[in-house]
Chain A
Amino acid sequence: MKKQTIEHTRLLVLSLLEGRDMYGYQIIVELARRSNRTFEMKEGTLYPVLHGLEQEGFVEAYRQEAPTGRERKYYHLTRKGQGALREEEAAWKRYSGAVNDVLRGGAEAEPV
């Protein structure tokens, strides 16, 4: 698992949990659906990310019965996690904006 992958996964997970509380498998399914299967990852790698967020206090976990009737471990975004999401979102926008700028500049510089 590469560091970059984890950092991006953190942002995506925080973002998904902003909408509603979810359990691990739900997050994987939702991530694949919303990204049109672009963000398909080895599913087990989600759990170190979730546990890391929990250790940092960005999410809280609780057990509750899922719509399937089985009990699952749900994750809830905390106020602290909302703050972290805002920061990571801003950082990502700066980063992606800079990448876009470079790509646009690179395209213009290319001789026709």
Chain B
Amino acid sequence: MTRREFTDQVLLPLTRLTWEEREAVRRELEEHLEDRMESMLERGWEPELAEERCLESMGDPAEIGREMAKQYRSRDQGWLWLGRAAVALTAVLCLQAVLSLEFFYTWKYVWDSVDARTIYVPEGWTEILDTVELSMALDICVPVGNDVLRAARVNVGREKNCDRRRAEVVLFSYDRIPGGVVSTNLLGSITVENQRGEQGQSAGGWGHYRVERTAQYVEIESGDIYVTLVYKWLGKTLRVQVPLPEEAS
């Protein structure tokens, strides 16, 4: 056995000591061996035999290590309690997180993002029209960069005190990855045009950073069969035609 192997065996059970403390124990034992060795050499021992006897005189390294570890048992208890306290604290924090509104809303937002991909906007649902004359469910999805624009319904109807008919397109935007963050710029930059190129308006909307919803409306005339969504993106103009309900023609 070498000195290194001897000290390694002593240090093996000292799991609760820091690296610095373990190395300090090793150093102390090595210094003892050094002193013992020097004494034996002075008395005329052969170096090899002296080294062997030095290590023998120290005793069983495993037993020394076990006894040494016992001396730090109170510290072990401290670590044990600290560990238990950490587990308890983690459990409390997890529970608090589950119950907290923030946690609830995080999952709600992720769910909204998933839901927006397939959600069915019910007939009669409108953002701005007072009377809905015709309505048609849509599922037009257009990828725009990392986001997706989805037209989910088109309504035709009127507002009070307004003779002209309007087409309203209900739009959603969400990230391609479910739960991902969507650009708020997407729906804000879209406009709608009628067949004569006249621009419509936004009816405002709702959303958070994982899903956005809006309605765009434009005045239409009898015989119109579509309106066009227009979006400028990276220097290109994207145009998507949205058919109007057939009875409108």
Contact = CB atoms under 8 A, between A and B. Distances in A.
Given A43-B32, A47-B25, A73-B28, A1 B57 contact: no
Q: Give the secondary structure class of A's interface.
A: helix
A48 B31 contact: no
B31 A42 contact: no
B161 interface: no
- Interface hub of A1, A6, A47 (most chain B Cβ within 10 A): A47
A83 to B, nearest CB: 19
B44 interface: no
Contacts of A24: 28, 31-32
Contacts of A44: 10, 29, 32, 58-61, 64
A110 B60 CA distance: 42
Interface residues of A, number: 19
B72 interface: yes
Contact of A48 (B24, B57, B67, B74): B67
Interface string B43-86: 00000000000000111110110011011101100000000000
Contacts of B165: none
Contacts of A43: 32, 36, 57-59
Nearest to B72: A55
Contacts of B64: 44-45, 47-48
Contacts of A45: 59, 63-64, 67
B71 A51 contact: yes
A97 interface: no
A75 to B, nearest CB: 10
Q: Which of A25, A68, A73 has the most CB of B within 10 A?
A: A25
Contacts of A47: 25, 28-29, 32, 64, 68
17 contacts: A24-B28, A24-B31, A24-B32, A25-B36, A43-B36, A44-B29, A45-B67, A48-B70, A48-B71, A51-B68, A52-B70, A55-B72, A70-B31, A70-B34, A72-B31, A73-B24, A73-B31
Given A68-B35, A70-B31, 9 more contacts: A1-B67, A43-B58, A44-B59, A44-B60, A51-B71, A52-B71, A55-B71, A55-B74, A68-B38
